[in-house]
Amino acid sequence: MKCPFSIATGAAYTIPVRVSPLFLESPVATESGLKMKSEYLARNNVILLVCLLILILFFPLFRTDKSLVRDLLLSAVFFAGVFSLEFPARARILLLSLATLTTGTTWIHHFIENDLLSLIDFGTSSVTLALIVVLMIRHIARSRIVTPTIILSSVNGYLLLGVLGAVLLSIADAVHIVLNGPGSAGIALPGDGSPEFSDYLYFAFITLTTVGFGDVTAVSHLTRSVTILIGLSGQLYMTILIAMLVGKFLAGHEGK
């Protein structure tokens, strides 16, 4: 572009000075960058959704190496959740640190099994999942319009709540066993045997969705408290998120 001043080189003529638009923001470049960012976030949300669906629907079908499949899927969920939304820089650094720490404790527990490592593993997992869900809700609340990425994030947030509930039930059951002995259990199954992570997932989601078949029940005070928390979280999430999404959708149409 032409500069408003010129350099005089004598009386005969002047040479216009051109300033390189290196630091100027081009509308085309900005639009392209926003489109690329939107596609990047949409792709990561799809990856997160696929990982969650495999964990919830297909993980219980594995009969061998279930712990290996669980740990692989949970590790993928942690990192896909971190990159699924446009978090602030500090929040992303915190989430990446937590996801790395949680993945490390998960795999340490995978190769070295004991009660203390189990509590540490599920404890760090619950903190990481809870933080991702909270930041997802914050991102959805601050969005101005309803986009497919926002809808995907809302679905992922709901599924993450169920996985978080399963992890909390694992912690509650492990604490109950530590306090009351190996023969006790905080969750009663239809048949004999101790509950596995797939059982916690099943119980968490039928509680989150308020289906409640009654085939699995919480028998200890701690697991009952966690069950109440899961049920309340599911109802509040659906009520608040649907109200926010409908309000933003209507506001966007009125603006047009």
Over range 118-123, report the average pLDDT.
92
Note whether residue 246 is domain-resident.
Answer: yes
pLDDT band at 94 (very low <50, low <70, confident <90, very high): confident
The strand pairing partners of 6, in sequence order, are 16
Of 26-30, 126-130, 201-205, 214-218, the one with minimum mean pLDDT is 26-30
108, 229, 100: which is closest to 164 by C-alpha? 229
Question: What total number of domains does the chain contain?
Answer: 1
SS3 (DSSP) at 102: helix
Note whether residue 18 is domain-resident.
Answer: no
Note whether residue 205 is domain-resident.
Answer: yes
Q: With 60 as the cut, is the pLDDT of residue 66 above it?
A: yes
Report the alpha-carbon distance of residue 58 to residue 45 in Å, rounded. Answer: 19
Give the CATH number of the domain where residue 126 resides.
1.10.287.70
Long-range contacts of 150-155 (CB under 8 A, 24+ apart): 150/245, 151/245, 152/42, 152/45, 152/46, 152/49, 153/45, 153/84, 153/85, 154/241, 154/245, 155/49
Note whether residue 223 is domain-resident.
Answer: yes
pLDDT band at 30 (very low <50, low <70, confident <90, very high): low
Residue where the block lists tokens 């490390």: 104
- Work out the number of other CB atoms within 10 angstroms of the CB of residue 26: 10
Counting residues of the chain whose pLDDT is more than 90, the rounded percentage is: 52
Q: Which domain holds residue 211?
A: 36-255
Are β-strands 2-8 and 14-18 bridged in parallel, bridged antiparallel, or unpaired?
Answer: antiparallel
Note whether residue 7 is domain-resident.
Answer: no
Note whether residue 41 is domain-resident.
Answer: yes
Look at residue 200 in the predicted model and tell me its pLDDT. Answer: 95
Beta strands in the chain (DSSP E): 2-8, 14-18, 187-188, 217-218
**Is residue 23 within 8 Å of 32, Cβ to Cβ?**
no
Which range of 5-14, 33-42, 126-135 scores highest in mean pLDDT? It is: 126-135
Note whether residue 77 is domain-resident.
Answer: yes
